[in-house]
Amino acid sequence: MISRYTYGSCIETGAVPEKPEIEAGALPFFVVDEEQMTLTYRMAEHDRVYGLGENLRGINKRGWIYESKCTDDPNHMEEKRSLYAAHNFFVVDGSETFGVFVDYPGIVSFDIGYTKMEELKIQASDWNLDVYVITGMDVKDIVKQFRKMIGRSYIPPLWAFGYGQSRWGYRSEDDVREVVKAYRDLQIPLDSVYLDIDYMERYKDFTLNQETFPDFPDFVEEMKKENIHLVPIIDAGVKEEKGYPVYEEGIEKGYFCKKEDGTPFVAAVWPGRALFPDMLNTEARNWFGDQYRFLLDQGIEGFWNDMNEPSIFYTEDSLKAVMEKIDTYKGKNLDLDSFSEFQGLVGGLSNNPEDYKAFYHDMDGVRVRHDRVHNLFGYNMTKAAGEAFERLEPDKRILMFSRSSYIGMHRYGGIWQGDNKSWWFHLLLNIKMMPSLNMCGFLYTGADLGGFGADTTEELLMRWLEFGIFTPLMRNHSAAGTREQEVYRFGNTAGFRHVIGLRYRLIPYLYSEYMKAALRGEMMFRPLAFDYPDDKYAAQVEDQLLLGNELMLAPVYEQNARGRYVYLPETMKMVRFKEDGTMETEIRPAGHQYIDVELTDVVFFMRPDTLIPLAKPAQCTQDIDFEHLELLKFVQNEMASYEYYHDDGYSKDYENPEHLSLLFSTTEE
Ligand code: GLC
């Protein structure tokens, strides 16, 4: 059951398409303090808290404070409270079990046992919020009700389940050709190459660098013949430049965010001075969405939206103030305090909270200061694109994922998990984030495999890919200045070919699981505790996941490890794919145990009486033979079956019952 409680007058976020009636009674479970603007729940000793989507720390979120404040911060360290998104849905599971969604577009904090170990305190920045409380049979049921309420998750084209290679930056057509050639020559499967900011003319959205990408439509076509999709990036900030049509038109029509005095708000991002389209204004949003046509018309079928928290390097006003202040330090003897202040001046320019108070949106006639709706910006940039694709390419699925997001955006696109680093603990973070994102509707997601910032290693990349082959978005991406990270830069080509090759064999299954999860509002990835609620050990497991109803994953995420401890909540079949092309299986009893996992082994566990379809190896999604599938089986009782979803991966009659069939088997062999 879902009950909605409203405080003050809420700004419409669009997260819940059809809102339930407002409840008259008191908010259950919480003590409400209107003055402090807090909701407080007293947790029992063993209560666990799941959710909050894209966030740091554990699957069980208890023990830290999280802040929904979309932030461009590439240092995803334990002490941080925010990443790029605001996903205000969580479930308390314990002496009471209930879900809460705080539909509120401003900054809100979730103190889950940080200030006081037994207290869960939600604090909003102003008192205008919609709070939904959801009760149900168990955590899965609560999540399912919530997902139904927020609407169906975005569905990408099938090719977006293939492996993608990205790097900031491939600078020219030839750079991209080289990548594709290396993959094809080595027979390592590949479906897409991402174009980072260097494909544009001086970082101007919806332009092309004519020198380095001189015949773009031909180039797109050439790549398509190789079964490669090019996926360009689009940034939130539009360059301020006379004669640049997007800028000129935006100014003329008044589509950019404005300062209090009504003049356009200018902030600096990649192109230097830039303006933010008012994504919260319907007309401006439609206009921005229409700009994607420039690339769609040249054959592009996928995009990633970036810097849309929105990220601000500096504003003219703040830069001027800092320059003036720095002048006052000249010739001074700087002591501890003055030196740290001095150091903070330049560092404090980026993403400064004061700048987010300096501009306004015109929400279809209502002027709202940005900080009050900060968390809706990236969401609406992606909505702009998603709605435009419906208008411009109504029969096609277009790949779209964003860096920043809010619940509601999951209907228009996926997300990647931002600028992680080539750190082992970020591989673990990637694992932990999958279920919490699924809870909030974000199914099409994955992290920059191998790590974005910092130098990767062959071993880290291999292990990360061994997990990444299961995530819907499977993309290797790295930052400018870091070690080159395409798999062919490393020694063990056969190992990478084997691991990535397995992804392609699994695509019929992964795609089927994705589609069922999207269409039914279910989670593709779940913590063990969700399926084994009475198992006290399962509740403790933070580094294994369930995938669909069939698999349990137990990735290796530590340097030099050649195995790991695994907890099996029941008897399972361990399946091991080895680099030499062989597959080994072994029935393992329930309980704690150690398993060996050599560097290029891919190991997963099948639950009893399950089947999974496996395709023959393929070099790209286009070549996958969906007609002749093999079945991996673990038949313990009389029969095992698998509900298999398959369509053309491109058109949109998702609900057609013909896409579903039942595969079954009565024997192990
Ligand atoms: C941001 C993005 C990253 C991209 C870079 C350059 O940091 O998160 O993925 O490579 O910008 O565009």
pLDDT of res. 373: 98
Judged against a pLDDT cut of 80, whether residue 545 lies above it is answered with yes
Mean pLDDT of the chain: 97
Judged against a pLDDT cut of 90, whether residue 430 lies above it is answered with yes
**Among the listed residues 554, 558, 524, 560, the one whose alpha carbon sits nearest the alpha carbon of residue 542:** 554
How many Cα atoms sit within 13 Å of 300 on the Cβ side? Answer: 25
Ligand 1 center–CA 314 separation, angstroms:
17
Ligand 1 center–CA 196 separation, angstroms:
7
Ligand 1 center–CA 256 separation, angstroms:
23
Between CA 502 and CA 505 the distance in angstroms is: 5
pLDDT in tens, 471-493: 999 999 999 999 999 999 999 99
pLDDT of res. 316: 87
pLDDT in tens, 5-17: 999 999 999 999 9
Contact 378, 305 (CB under 8 A): yes
How many Cα atoms sit within 13 Å of 649 on the Cβ side? Answer: 18
Helix intervals (H) in 152-310: 173-186, 216-225, 245-253, 282-290, 293-296
Residue-by-residue DSSP string for 43-79:
PPTT-EEEE-SS-SS-SB-TTEEEEE---------TT
Contact 466, 491 (CB under 8 A): no
Query: Residue range 414-426: average pLDDT?
Result: 98
Which residues in 104-182 belong to E strands, given as ranges?
108-112, 119-124, 129-134, 163-165
Q: 């705080």: which residue's tokens? A: 102
Q: Which residues surround ligand 1 with Cβ inside 6 Å? A: 168, 196-197, 233, 306, 403, 418-419, 477
Ligand 1 center–CA 230 separation, angstroms:
16
pLDDT of res. 258: 98
Enter the tokens of residue 318. 């703040």
Between CA 607 and CA 632 the distance in angstroms is: 11
The helix/strand count (H/E) of the chain reads as: 13, 39
- pTM for the predicted model, two decimal places: 0.98
Ligand 1, from 193, 307, 473: best to mutate by most atoms within 8 Å of Cβ?
307
pLDDT in tens, 373-408: 999 999 999 999 999 999 999 999 999 999 999 999
Judged against a pLDDT cut of 80, whether residue 669 lies above it is answered with no
Supply the residue whose CA is at minimum distance from atom 3 of ligand 1. 419
**Cα 587 off chain centre by:** 34
